[in-house]
């Protein structure tokens, strides 16, 4: 039995693959290694995975139907899919919207079509995002809240993935679970995200841009906590055969909404340097606060995040200094 991870050279996919391989499972990784951020970091993650037993990699774009069909025909023993390959990033969706429909809508459809033909498939888990909550102001965000007012195309495509999944669960009885991730950070993380931008600029002595004059809050989630939640979910497929479609959506966050300025202070402290702050107005596509209600995730998967930012950020800073020699 194999697990297919799409986006395996990405931040979360890499960490997930490491954990699954550590459990002795066979992992098939797929990624197109695109240059949305430095592909050298993706190659470095991949090199670590390729050095391990049980890992096979295929470089391909998930929106290429023929290639994904051929992959599914080759690995008929796939029992689980964790679909993480997406065009991520809120702000970039204002710059290159077509990248989002290609990877997140077309790519998701190609995977759903391949999945429904896999004879041994037990569970298809896919990454959604806190961005589906869009302009909602009621905190914490609950999966029972409406999610029909996205403020970015990224959020709209993640919501689209959820709605498409519901239809595939109903039409084909495909067991699917969508996980709404909340601002994930940690070693081997994404250079386009706030923690990396802050570390790079602080070390270079450059001012850091802080939007909405710093009046922002995020439910920052450490990557090891996210991965533990994904594995627990993967191993507990949505029940099928009842009157409801086998599709559920859950929040995976830290269940703590931290002020952005506190996040910056911890990074400053770990780096031993003060940041010069360039306060800027709110950016289009951004939201002021995120905060995950994880009650259902804890109840159904035993998900209990255990890493506060006071612990996770210093670990990230130590990795960053070591990896970049900074």
Q: Closer to ligand NAD at the Cβ: 240 or 286?
A: 286
The overall longest dimension of the chain from CA atoms, in Å, is: 59
254 binds ligand NAD (CB under 6 A): no
Which of 5, 62, 143, 289 touches ligand NAD (CB under 6 A)?
A: 62
10 binds ligand NAD (CB under 6 A): yes
Closest CA to 317 of 280, 272, 274, 279: 272
**Would you say the C-alpha torsion 147, 177, 255, 318 has a positive or negative sign?**
negative
Phi and psi torsions of 6, nearest 5°: -90, 145
Q: Closer to ligand NAD at the Cβ: 262 or 273?
A: 262
Peptide bond before residue 217 is cis, with ω within 30 degrees of 0: no
Closest CA to 33 of 50, 12, 58: 58
Distances (CA, A) of 135 to 95, 104, 207, 291: 20, 21, 29, 13
Closest CA to 182 of 86, 22, 293, 272: 293
Give all strands (DSSP E) within 214-295, no chain letters.
217-218, 221-222, 247-252, 258-259, 277-280
Which of 42, 108, 159, 247 touches ligand NAD (CB under 6 A)?
A: 42
* Beta strands at 217-218 and 258-259: parallel, antiparallel or unpaired: antiparallel
* Minimum gap (Å) between residue 285 Cβ and ligand NAD: 14
* Minimum gap (Å) between residue 12 Cβ and ligand NAD: 4
Spatial contact of 265 and 202, defined as CB atoms under 8 Å apart = no
Active site (annotated) includes residue 154: yes
7 binds ligand NAD (CB under 6 A): yes
Phi and psi torsions of 198, nearest 5°: -65, -50
108 binds ligand NAD (CB under 6 A): no
For residue 177, what is the DSSP state?
E
Q: Closer to ligand NAD at the Cβ: 118 or 226?
A: 226
31 binds ligand NAD (CB under 6 A): yes
195 binds ligand NAD (CB under 6 A): no
Spatial contact of 210 and 283, defined as CB atoms under 8 Å apart = no
181 binds ligand NAD (CB under 6 A): yes
Q: Closer to ligand NAD at the Cβ: 41 or 270?
A: 41
88 binds ligand NAD (CB under 6 A): yes
* Minimum gap (Å) between residue 187 Cβ and ligand NAD: 13
Q: Closer to ligand NAD at the Cβ: 127 or 287?
A: 127
Spatial contact of 93 and 285, defined as CB atoms under 8 Å apart = yes
Binding piece for ligand NAD, criterion CB under 6 A, among 3-11, 113-121, 232-240, 279-287: 3-11
121/79 Cα distance (integer angstroms): 4
Which of 19, 33, 232, 261 touches ligand NAD (CB under 6 A)?
A: 33
152/284 Cα distance (integer angstroms): 8
For residue 67, what is the DSSP state?
H
2 binds ligand NAD (CB under 6 A): no
Which of 4, 5, 17, 32 touches ligand NAD (CB under 6 A)?
A: 32
Q: Closer to ligand NAD at the Cβ: 109 or 203?
A: 109
Catalytic pick among 37, 100, 154, 185: 154
* Minimum gap (Å) between residue 321 Cβ and ligand NAD: 20
* Residues assigned a catalytic role: 154
What is the binding site for ligand NAD (CB under 6 A)? 7, 9-13, 31-34, 42, 61-63, 84-88, 103, 107, 127, 129, 181, 183-184, 190
């Amino acid at each position: 039995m194999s697990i297919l991870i799409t986006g395996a050279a990405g931040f979360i996919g890499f960490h997930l693959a490491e954990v699954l391989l550590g459990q002795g499972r066979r992992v098939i990784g797929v990624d197109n290694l695109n240059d949305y951020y430095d592909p050298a970091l993706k190659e470095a993650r991949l090199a670590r995975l390729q050095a391990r037993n049980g890992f096979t990699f295929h470089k391909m774009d998930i929106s290429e139907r023929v290639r994904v069909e051929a992959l599914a025909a080759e690995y008929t023993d796939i029992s689980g899919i964790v679909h993480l390959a997406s065009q991520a990033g809120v702000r970039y969706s204002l710059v290159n919207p077509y990248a989002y429909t290609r990877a997140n809508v077309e790519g998701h459809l190609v995977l759903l079509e391949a999945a429904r033909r896999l004879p041994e498939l037990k569970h298809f888990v896919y990454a959604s995002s806190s961005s589906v909550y869009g302009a909602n102001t009621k905190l914490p965000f609950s999966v029972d809240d409406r999610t029909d007012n996205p403020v970015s195309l990224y959020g709209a495509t993640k919501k689209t993935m959820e709605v498409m999944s519901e239809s595939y669960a109903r039409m084909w009885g495909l067991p699917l679970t969508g996980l709404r991730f909340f601002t994930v950070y940690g070693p081997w993380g994404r250079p386009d995200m706030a923690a990396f931008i802050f570390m790079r600029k602080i070390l270079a002595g450059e001012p850091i841009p802080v939007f909405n004059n710093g009046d922002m809050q995020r439910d920052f989630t450490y990557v090891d906590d996210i991965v533990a939640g994904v594995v627990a979910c993967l191993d507990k497929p949505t029940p099928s055969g009842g009157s409801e479609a086998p599709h559920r959506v859950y929040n995976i966050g830290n269940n703590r909404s931290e002020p952005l300025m506190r996040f910056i202070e911890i990074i400053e402290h770990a780096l031993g340097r003060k940041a010069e702050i360039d306060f800027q107005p709110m950016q289009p596509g951004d939201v002021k606060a995120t905060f995950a209600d994880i009650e259902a995730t804890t109840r159904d998967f035993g998900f209990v995040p255990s890493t506060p930012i006071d612990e996770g950020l210093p670990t990230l800073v130590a990795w960053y200094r070591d990896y970049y020699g900074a």
